[in-house]
Amino acid sequence: MDRHALRPIRPLGLLEGIEIIDQRLLPHVLHWAKLKSASEVARAISEMWLRGAPLIGAAAAFGLALALRDDPSDAGLESAATRLAATRPTAVNLAWASTRVRRRVAAVSTQDRASAAWHEALAIAEEDAAANAAIGEYGLALLREIAVRPGRGARQLRVLTHCNAGWLATVAWGTATAPIYKAQAAGLPLEVWVDETRPRNQGTSLTAWELGEAGVPHRVIADNAGGHLMQQGLVDLVIVGCDRVAANGDVCNKIGTYLKALAAHDNGVPFFVAMPLSTLDLELADGAAIPIEERSAREVTHLQGITADGRVIEVRVVPEGSGAANPAFDVTPARLVTGLITERGIVAADAAALRALADAGSKLSA
């Protein structure tokens, strides 16, 4: 499992930019796009060429390095940080990565700032990959434990996931998918229910594509189907990613996550959230304060697919004259979350556990 969704480009020591997969064309076309400036990175994040909280955090860090290459002044840094932070208001990783880079370069001379920022971005990317690998190991242990629960029988584990928290959403491994890829490597039989994830179809376009490329058995389902599958005993656990987790364990993730959490709770199905610590926002007391991005109605009224003769085109599905609303995220209350799978182990979604986790992290990095 060495798939990466972001490649730094630095020929001969020059900071040229980054390469990312233009995810708007998946699953039909795999195209790597070069982003050579902070404004190109900002545009790519805003237009969702790349997405996923961890990945946009890392990309924003590289974006700041590119901004400092072009203007290493404090004003240039702040201007670029503001522009990058505005691209997606919900994910906390953008602010987190930006703060890390700014702290790193604060005391550095202007001529060395770009290089220092670049190295911080590389560190963020490497830490993300390592964190996800660790999430995968803790998640694998969880899957093994659930697989042998009494009454399950010998059939393969069935995991439901929503949206894409795969390697396409991170620097490597993915968060919610890391335990799945680790389980596959360990020979633990499983099948994944892939929520389509309207309106942008990240499940259909990205998660199904990822799992297919990796040879992981999976079936796509309409977002409407998960509750019924749980009622029928066809889901052993749910694992999703997150865009931001508040101090009390409330989880902000892709719109529709809350509905799956309700159904899991109603049917006694474990509901886990894969959460790298970069996604934890202890400054927010609870989920009510998380800004929910409202995206374009066009994401609901139009969608992209491929024709029988191989052309990727957009079609309108809503009648002319009908409007649409498009909140992009929702908040799942901590009471519905069985646990958070982090790079330091699985913890309860409550204030005490998250505080202890963060304190342990501060000691580790101190």
Residues that bind a copy of itself (CB under 8 A): 27-28, 193-194, 196-199, 201, 204-205, 208-209, 211-212, 218-229, 231, 254-256, 258-260, 262-263, 266, 292, 300-308, 313-319, 321-327, 329-331
Query: Smallest distance, Å, CB 311 to a copy of itself?
Result: 9
Query: Smallest distance, Å, CB 112 to a copy of itself?
Result: 45
Kindly tell me which of 173 and 209 has the beta carbon lying closer to a copy of itself.
209
- Residue 160 one-letter amino acid: L
* Contacts for 152 with CB less than 8 Å, ≥ 6 apart: 146, 236
How many Cβ atoms from other residues are within 10 Å of residue 217's Cβ? 13
Query: Smallest distance, Å, CB 172 to a copy of itself?
Result: 21
State how far the Cα of 91 lies from the Cα of 276, in Å rounded to an integer.
Answer: 12
Query: Smallest distance, Å, CB 164 to a copy of itself?
Result: 13
Kindly tell me which of 34 and 228 has the beta carbon lying closer to a copy of itself.
228
Residues annotated as part of the active site: 243
Structure-token pair, residue 154 = 């010998």
Closest CA to 129 of 171, 167, 93, 169: 171
Closest CA to 254 of 240, 274, 266: 240
Cis peptide before 199 (omega within 30 of 0): yes
- Torsion region of 248: left, alpha or beta (phi above 0 gives left; psi -120 to 50 gives alpha): alpha
Kindly tell me which of 109 and 322 has the beta carbon lying closer to a copy of itself.
322
Sheet holding 6-9, edge to edge: 6-9, 17-21, 32-35
Kindly tell me which of 74 and 266 has the beta carbon lying closer to a copy of itself.
266
Kindly tell me which of 213 and 359 has the beta carbon lying closer to a copy of itself.
213
CA angle 39, 73, 60 (to 5 degrees): 35
Cis peptide before 276 (omega within 30 of 0): no
Query: Smallest distance, Å, CB 259 to a copy of itself?
Result: 4
